[in-house]
């Protein structure tokens, strides 16, 4: 019994941490897609991304120029 | 590594991606049918305005210098909504997997729909009240940084407030009646404080943009987002149903 709890709990904590970190990465992906305006990308790439996602940015209610 | 009772992490991600794709697909359809008409009208106003400003050039070469053509922009906008749906769907399923048991609702489907409702309130409605969505012709480039920080800050504050309300509602230190009153009070006072404290970052509407157009756009945008949350929650709830015992479920329904 003691053995099973000591192996289960760290696994469950690690799994929860991994899962919630993955969720955060997904939300950062949304942020990148809808709010990247030259922080990580070059100016040309950023303005291409901005134009390509422009309708979605407005429709999803994200602030835009 | 994985526990006996919980499904593998990959299945949660897969369910989330599938539910997100359904939500994103419906969202793209809503964008196409509900929101695009207002975007088209706003772009026409925007281009009429800029043509008026640059009267020197007889040819309005907006289309030639554009990085992305208008038709590409429409298609890529739909693709973006689909991709955003999938990403949010994966995050949604993961959050529900690890925090769902702390949410109100007697069944998995119930807590899934609760989470979808909270997602709509915190990620959509709260920022929409502080920094409302605007069609393309509205929006001052000089204020975009303040609007973006306010928008993201509102989401963070709204998520924090929702967590606080749920924490109070589940608090073991209070009696059930007191708990409910305290949770409602925290929610009401917290909302009032946020409304008072958050900066008024919304841009004024330019005189050449009709108020009808702005409201049609905002309602369509909210309808699209609400539909996406509803579809995400419903699909996730359906995918999360126990699959093995349709007979006992049927018996349960017959008895009810």
- Determine contact, residues B96/B112, Cβ cutoff 8 Å: yes
* Lowest mean pLDDT across A45-59, B42-56, B201-215, B225-239: B42-56
- Cβ <8 Å between B81 and A59: yes
The DSSP string of B13-71 is HHHHHHHHHHHHHHHHHHIIIIIHHHHHHHHHHHHHHHHHH--S-SS-THHHH-SS-HH
Tell me the average pLDDT across B93-101.
95
B88, B124, B133: residue with CB nearest A58:
B133
The answer to whether position A16 is within a domain reads no
Tell me the average pLDDT across B218-234.
98
- Cβ <8 Å between A51 and B67: yes
* Residue B93 tokens, joined: 């399923």
> What pLDDT is recorded for position A38?
81
A33, A48, A55: residue with CB nearest B39:
A55
The answer to whether position A52 is within a domain reads yes
A27, A56, A65: residue with CB nearest B139:
A65
Model confidence band, residue A11 (pLDDT cutoffs 50, 70, 90)? confident
Q: What is the residue extent of each domain of chain B? A: 9-52+71-240
Which residues of chain B have a CB within 8 Å of the CB of A16? 98
Q: What is the pLDDT of residues B67-87, one digit of tens each?
A: 899 999 999 999 999 999 999
- Determine contact, residues A47/B28, Cβ cutoff 8 Å: no
> What pLDDT is recorded for position B61?
41
pLDDT of B53 over the 80 cut: no
Four-CA torsion B204, B208, B211, B217, nearest 10 degrees: -90
Of B130, B95, B50, B206, which Cα lies nearest the Cα of A61?
B130
Model confidence band, residue B242 (pLDDT cutoffs 50, 70, 90)? confident
The answer to whether position A20 is within a domain reads no
Q: What is the pLDDT of residues B133-189, one digit of tens each?
A: 999 989 888 999 999 999 999 999 999 999 999 999 999 888 989 999 999 999 999
Domain that holds residue A35: 25-65
- Cβ <8 Å between A22 and B13: yes
Tell me the average pLDDT across B219-236.
98
Burial class (CB in 10 A: 0-12, 13-18, 19+), B20: buried
A6 lies within 8 A of chain B by CB: no
The answer to whether position A4 is within a domain reads no
The larger pLDDT score, comparing residue B252 to residue B93, is at B93
Looking at the 3D structure of chain A, how many domains does it have? 1
Average pLDDT, chain B: 89
Give the Cα-Cα-Cα angle B194, B195, B199 (nearest 5 degrees).
90
The answer to whether position A1 is within a domain reads no
- Cβ <8 Å between A60 and B144: no
The DSSP string of B109-138 is HHHHHHHHHHHIIIIIIHHHHHS----TT-
The answer to whether position A49 is within a domain reads yes
The larger pLDDT score, comparing residue B256 to residue B171, is at B171
Q: What is the pLDDT of residues A17-55, one digit of tens each?
A: 999 999 999 999 999 999 988 888 999 999 999 999 999
Interface mutation vs chain A, best among B16, B17, B27, B80, most A CBs within 10 Å: B80
Tell me the average pLDDT across B49-55.
60
- Cβ <8 Å between A34 and B84: yes
The answer to whether position A31 is within a domain reads yes
From the CA of B77, how many Å to the nearest CA of chain A?
Answer: 5
The answer to whether position A9 is within a domain reads no
């Amino acid at each position: 019994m003691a053995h099973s709890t000591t192996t289960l709990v760290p696994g469950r904590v690690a799994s929860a941490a991994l899962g919630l970190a993955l969720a955060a990465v997904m939300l950062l992906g949304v942020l990148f897609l809808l709010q990247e305006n030259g922080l990580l990308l070059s100016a040309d790439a950023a303005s291409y991304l901005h134009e390509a996602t422009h309708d979605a940015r407005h429709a999803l209610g994200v602030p835009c120029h | 590594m994985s526990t006996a009772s919980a499904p593998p992490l990959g299945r949660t991600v897969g369910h989330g991606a599938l539910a997100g794709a359904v939500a994103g697909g419906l969202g793209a359809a809503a964008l196409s049918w509900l929101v695009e008409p207002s975007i088209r009208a706003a772009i026409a106003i925007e281009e009429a305005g800029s043509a008026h400003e640059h009267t020197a050039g007889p040819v309005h070469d907006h289309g030639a210098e554009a990085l992305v053509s208008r038709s590409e922009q429409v298609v890529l906008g739909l693709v973006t909504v689909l991709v955003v749906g999938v990403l949010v769907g994966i995050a949604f399923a993961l959050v529900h997997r690890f925090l769902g048991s702390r949410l109100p609702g007697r069944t998995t489907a119930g807590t899934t729909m609760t989470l979808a409702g909270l997602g709509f309130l915190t990620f959509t409605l709260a920022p929409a009240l502080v920094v409302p969505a605007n069609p393309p012709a509205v929006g001052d480039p000089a204020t975009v940084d303040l609007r973006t920080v306010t928008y993201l800050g509102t989401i963070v504050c709204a998520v924090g407030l929702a967590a606080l309300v749920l924490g109070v509602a589940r608090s073991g230190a209070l009696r059930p009646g007191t708990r409910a009153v305290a949770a409602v009070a925290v929610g009401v006072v917290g909302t009032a404080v946020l409304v008072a404290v958050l900066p008024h970052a919304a841009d004024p509407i330019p005189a050449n943009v009709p108020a009808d157009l702005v409201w049609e756009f905002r309602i369509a945008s909210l309808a699209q987002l609400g539909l996406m949350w509803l579809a995400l929650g419903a699909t996730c709830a359906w995918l999360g149903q126990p699959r093995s015992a349709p007979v006992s479920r049927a018996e349960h329904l017959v008895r009810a």
